Amino acid sequence: MSSLEISSSCCNQEMKLPLSPPLVEGSAFVPPGKDMNEVEEKSKDIIKFTSEKLSIDEASQLVISPVCGAVSLFVGTTRNNFEGKKVISLEYEAYLPMAENEVRKICSDIRQKWPVRHIAVFHRLGLVPVSEASIIIAVSSAHRAASLEAVSYAIDNLKAKVPIWKKEMYEESPSSWKRNKECFWATSDSTT
Q: Does the annotation flag 159 for ligand binding?
A: yes
Please report the sign of the dihedral spanned by the C-alpha atoms of residue 136, residue 141, residue 44, residue 150: positive
Does residue 119 sit within a domain?
Answer: yes
Q: Does the annotation flag 143 for ligand binding?
A: yes
| Coil, helix or strand at residue 59 | helix
Task: Give pLDDT tens digits for 150-184.
Answer: 999 999 999 999 999 999 999 887 676 665 555 45
Does residue 5 sit within a domain?
Answer: no
For residue 111, the enclosing domain spans 41-178
Q: How many domains does the chain have?
A: 1
Q: Does the annotation flag 167 for ligand binding?
A: yes
Least confident of 40-54, 89-103, 167-181: 167-181
Q: 130 phi and psi, to 5 degrees?
A: -55, 140
Residues 153-192 as b/e (b if ≥16 CB within 10 A, e otherwise) read: bbbebbebbbbbebebbbeeeeebeeebeebeeeeeeeee
Beta-bridge partners for 183: none
pTM for the model stands at: 0.74
